[in-house]
Structure 1
Amino acid sequence: MNESNLTISRIIKSDELSKEVDAAEAAKFIGVTVSTLAAWRCTKKQNIPFYKIGSKVRYKISDLVAWKEEQRVC
């Protein structure tokens, strides 16, 4: 199991799916840079739901997990 899968398993087991994270944590979680994630938000290239409160951007862990699962090829 790679590091990303271990992280997902730990989060699911610890009931943190409803937790919200900032863009830096979200980018690390899905394996992209913060600037890539920002570009996806602006261009809507990837449909990852997010919240924007003032200048802060937040992502729900459950949305990130769902997005990663949608990217699965096999």
Structure 2
Amino acid sequence: MDKQNTVKHHSFDPLLSTPEAAAYLGVTEGTISVWRCTRRYPIPYIKIGRLVKYRKSALDAFLAQRTVGVSTIHEGGLS
């Protein structure tokens, strides 16, 4: 993929600030900051000077990876 296509590819993928990303995931700003600093979860982020930004698509991918499917539910309860 060349540079021009990369720019076009990411132009429709919004960048979210830490507070916006935390709200999107339903966690506190402190939680997402700890995850980033300790690398507890490998959520990709972008550093722009002292600013930290998250692509919405990266947050969606994180949620998809953490989603537990129907196949884990068995008759009589959860497994």
Shorter-chain TM-score tier: 0.7 to 0.9
- In structure 1, runs of 5+ residues without a counterpart are 1-15
Q: Does 1:36 align with 2:47?
A: no
Q: Which has the larger share of strand?
A: 2
Identify unmatched segments of 5+ residues in structure 2. 1-10, 70-79
* Rg comparison, structure with higher value: 2
1:18 aligns with 2:13: yes
Q: Please give the TM-score of this superposition, normalised by the length of structure 1.
A: 0.75
Aligned length: 59
* Superposed CA RMSD: 1.4
Residue from 57, 61, 65 that aligns with 1:66: 61
- Would you identify which runs of 4 or more consecutive aligned residues in structure 1 move more than 4 Å? none
Cα distance 1:37–1:17, how it changes in 2: closer, same or farther (>3 A)?
farther
